[in-house]
Structure 1
Amino acid sequence: MSSKPQPPSSSPPPNNNFAVAFCALAAARTWLSLTGFSSLLDHNQLVSSPLTAFSNLKEGIFLFNHDIDPYSGGSFRQSPLLLSLFTTILPSSSKPLASLLWTLNDVVGAYTLVQIWRSRQNVTSSRRDTLVAAAYLLNPYLFLPSLALSTSSFENTLMLSAILFACKRKPSQTVFTLSVLVQLSLTSIIMVLPAMLLLITDPHSHLASPQPIQTSLRKLWPLFGEFSLYTIVLILISTVIAGSWTWIPQTWGATLMLPDLTPNTGMWWYFFTEMFDHFRPFFLMVFSVHLLIYVAPVCLKFQYDPLYAAYILLGILGIFKPYPTLSDPGLFVSMIALFPETYQYMRHPIVTLLLHLHAALLMPLFYDLWVVQGAGNANFFYASTLVFACANGAAIVDALWSGLRVAIGETPEGYVVVQE
């Protein structure tokens, strides 16, 4: 039976169960954010990086409030947009208020993910809504960075918002959100093409019936032009906020040049710790270009389902990002809830799950042994991050295989797209 989406019912029944469950999930996350558990994660490099740490943000706010260039010290590497937001809305000393703000951000992200699911299924509500929301709010890869007040949580919400705007065919909102996202994280630029392809096609599932894109790609040029305009305007605004152009080498430049080799969950830091300075520029170029080479092949292969292309690219970004945290692959893991039609075609989901469990146990253990106890060395922790990268890589390979297999495999009798 085909999984082609059907038009929504004209008067769907209200989903009261989802409202109750969603409020319960939000209340549980709020309670967790106000406990003392978050203080244990303040300086944990698994959940925050030099580009997303709340401690660095507070330092930048302090310098900015005392008329000192926050980018002069080389420790503050976050966008001037965040600096402006948190100096006007959120006092740096109010951690309970910050915890509530981060929790609210996650609640918005979860509801946005539910809206993306509804847009993909072309329904106004479904029995799966609660599961989709729980996949975001209860994902430890996402709520642990949120408890640590990592600004990567805001990046995830902006990413989901851009995808939702694209699903709703709102071009200006989509490209503006993408522009803001690129201001916060330069590597998010690889998500611009799949989001724009989603704008000119539709978000519905076409994995079972792949067809070449039916619209002219010339429609992309005005979107790229509008994106460039918004980006230029935001650059100028950021320059006015920072008072100079020094924010560019300290934020975007840090993504490209990797000046801070603080250990994290990615694969760049250890490689460049051991790298001779003579070869460093060449390999920085290779690593940066390597992240870009996946965009065109993935978008071409899944041109009939740009939402799935965006999903795959988010997984790739979670592996090869220069300064990743747990929240980067966490978004990819949560978004798997949007594609139930692929579950039956996955080849090794148990192996992937066990690899993630193995890495989730090893990384905090080896990090504590090396950094806190001083009983290990960098090889201990890097070995665990390699296991984590293998787990994420296995998940992406499985997602690619199952996404392609849907088109040529037989759908089991009785399978239908979840709808109300």
Structure 2
Amino acid sequence: MGILFQIVLASAIRLGLIYSQYRQIIQDRVEVSTILNSWKRMTEGAALYRHGISPYAGDIFHETPLALVLCDFMIRRLPDFIGVVYVAVDVLAGLTLYFTAKSYMKELERAQKREKKKYAADVDNLLLHRNDVDTSPKYVLAAYLFNPYTILSCVGFTTTTFANLLSAALFLTMCRGWRLASCAFLALSVLQSLYPVVLLVPLCIYTCRDSRRRPLAVAWTVTAFAALFAAALYLCSAISGDWLFLRSVYNVILTVTDLRPNIGLFWYFFTEMFEHFRLLFVYSFQINATLLYLAPLSLRFHSDPMLLAASLTALVAIFKSYPCLGDVGFYMALLPMWKHLFNSKAVVPDMQQSFVILCALVITSVLGPTVWHLWIYSRSANANFYFGVTLAFATAQIFLITDVLFAYIKREFTLANGIIKEEDKAKLRLSLE
């Protein structure tokens, strides 16, 4: 399927849903819209802004002033073409990921040529072939444009669509070595939700990898990011006229003051726990979403910063305080860049849980709205049922990430040491010496 055909078909699907009777239903789904990306809250904030009332004085609006200005511009200048703007932004995000995948696959091909002399003799089936290099970017584009999660996020007019474009631009500029542009896109991503700050580590790895003065390159990158982020904050304060937006945007993310249900893990725990344990669990959950996996993954996968960035993005999408399906769809679109890990020709397949994970994701995606209806409308279920589905959904994603990372490690080991034959497995023993 050609790229142009994919773009036209994906745009038609999105526009058809946007201008149908189902758009409002999708927009109101808790799996799609949260307090941080809801279009309804954006329009309310823009209305207050136009009447000279600060939208950050209450507890309705939690977007940045830059997003507020953009939303106000679309409502005033493009009221009949907002859907077209969202579709264009979403398609542009998919195309950006396509070019990211093209750059990354060429990077993998060059790395394989450099390391091929060190590989074992019987690993030809595990090598990256020209077909993988050519087809992976197309699969990435298709995985983003036709992923139901990203489609629903676009149709629901969530600001996650714009966040995905920023993240895609960050991945592209990072992969191509455009340091200043990478720092700018990272600053804008962090400005919106804070959590992408963990991507500063793979960005620093990329910038210092080809530099002779690595400490200086890292210091330059960190300084540039900090300066651009500070400039973005100052611009936001100039737009809003004060610094109240810091409380409305970032305090609600860090302290989880709003406990409306979503596909994350925060809301149920903080609803059920005793208040005097709240601070402990806030620290525990936020550390788990940001710093806990940063050091071990960075140490292990520093040789492949793109895989590191994708893994950190996926973990943030699972463990952040207010996740949505658009976040999940974005990192899933990156996975075809490692399609060679799905190698069925190997004696021991690299990824062994793909079918189980796929079934779990499909089942939980269907059960979520079903259980929500039983809980909210039929009153024949309760919050435990819905949280059970979201917990299973998060577990399936965790299995997906660990399966990809373990497959990557296993492939690296096999390339270096050769494939272990069946008759040799009996001779292997576990030694604790």
Indicate the residue corresponding to 1:143 in structure 2.
151
Indicate the residue corresponding to 2:400 in structure 1.
395
Check whether the contact 1:80–1:241 (CA below 8 A) recurs between aligned residues. Answer: yes
Which residue, out of 151, 158, 179, partners 2:166? 158
Which residue, out of 93, 105, 116, partners 2:89? 105
1:373 deviates by: 2.9
Indicate the residue corresponding to 1:3 in structure 2.
none
Output the CA distance in 2 between the equivalents of 1:382 and 1:343: 31
Indicate the residue corresponding to 1:219 in structure 2.
217
Which residue, out of 101, 116, 126, partners 2:134? 126
Q: Does 1:87 align with 2:72?
A: yes
1:217 deviates by: 4.3
**Aligned to 1:409, what secondary structure does the other structure show?**
helix
**Aligned to 2:22, what secondary structure does the other structure show?**
helix
1:92 deviates by: 9.0
Check whether the contact 2:140–2:335 (CA below 8 A) recurs between aligned residues. Answer: no
Task: Call closer, same or farther: CA 1:386–1:64 in 2, change over 3 Å.
Answer: same
1:17 deviates by: 3.4
Output the CA distance in 2 between the equivalents of 1:215 and 1:339: 31
Q: Deviations over 1:82-131 (max 9, x none)?
A: 0011223443993x522211111110111011101110122999344432
Task: Call closer, same or farther: CA 1:21–1:328 in 2, change over 3 Å.
Answer: closer
How do residues 15-414 of structure 1 correspond to structure 2 at under 5 angstroms? 17-91=2-76, 94=79, 96-122=80-106, 126-201=134-209, 216-291=214-289, 292-344=291-343, 345-410=350-415
1:186 deviates by: 1.1
Indicate the residue corresponding to 2:426 in structure 1.
none
Task: Call closer, same or farther: CA 1:263–1:152 in 2, change over 3 Å.
Answer: same
Output the CA distance in 1 between the equivalents of 2:339 and 2:215: 29
Check whether the contact 1:167–1:199 (CA below 8 A) recurs between aligned residues. Answer: no
Output the CA distance in 2 between the equivalents of 1:390 and 1:215: 42
Check whether the contact 1:46–1:326 (CA below 8 A) recurs between aligned residues. Answer: yes
If asked which structure has higher relative contact order (CA below 8 Å, sep 6+), I would say 1
Partner letter of residue 29 of structure 1?
Answer: R
Worse-superposed segment, 301-310 or 79-88: 79-88
TM-score (ref. length: structure 1): 0.87
Unaligned runs of 5+ in 1: 1-15, 203-212, 414-420
Partner letter of residue 237 of structure 2?
Answer: T
Output the CA distance in 2 between the equivalents of 1:139 and 1:349: 17
Check whether the contact 2:174–2:203 (CA below 8 A) recurs between aligned residues. Answer: yes
Output the CA distance in 2 between the equivalents of 1:92 and 1:48: 24
Output the CA distance in 2 between the equivalents of 1:173 and 1:60: 30
Check whether the contact 1:162–1:195 (CA below 8 A) recurs between aligned residues. Answer: no
Check whether the contact 1:18–1:129 (CA below 8 A) recurs between aligned residues. Answer: no
Check whether the contact 1:50–1:56 (CA below 8 A) recurs between aligned residues. Answer: yes
Check whether the contact 2:207–2:221 (CA below 8 A) recurs between aligned residues. Answer: no
Task: Determine which structure has more spread, i.e. the larger CA radius of gyration.
Answer: 2
Worse-superposed segment, 80-89 or 231-240: 80-89
Unaligned runs of 5+ in 2: 108-129, 344-349, 420-433
Output the CA distance in 2 between the equivalents of 1:128 and 1:279: 47
Q: Deviations over 1:205-261 (max 9, x none)?
A: xxxxxxxx9872441111100100011111111111111111001101111111110
The count of aligned residue pairs is 387
Partner letter of residue 60 of structure 2?
Answer: S
Output the CA distance in 1 between the equivalents of 2:136 and 2:15: 23
